[in-house]
């Protein structure tokens, strides 16, 4: 299992590629193989807003 830092770094790269920080846009445009936003939130025990904030946005 990836560390919190690895999850946030991968998420940050993906959000920059997508050009949006909304949960809906992430789930619609994430690359194949990337986990859904709900999985990220559950693993980090944070809301999407808090996850995005910790990723540096």
What pLDDT digit, counting tens, does each position of 4-47 carry? 999 999 999 999 999 999 999 999 999 998 999 999 999 999 99
pLDDT at 13: 96
pLDDT range class, residue 1, cuts 50, 70, 90:
confident
Dist CA 3 CA 19 (whole Å): 24
pLDDT band at 2 (very low <50, low <70, confident <90, very high): confident
> What's the CA gap between 28 and 56, in Å, rounded?
21
Q: pTM of the predicted model, to two decimals?
A: 0.89
């Amino acid at each position: 299992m990836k560390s919190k830092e690895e999850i946030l770094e991968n998420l940050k790269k993906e959000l920059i590629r997508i050009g949006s920080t909304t949960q809906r846009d992430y789930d619609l445009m994430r690359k194949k193989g990337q986990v859904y936003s709900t999985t990220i939130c559950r693993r980090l025990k944070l809301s999407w807003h808090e996850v995005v904030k910790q990723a540096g946005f």
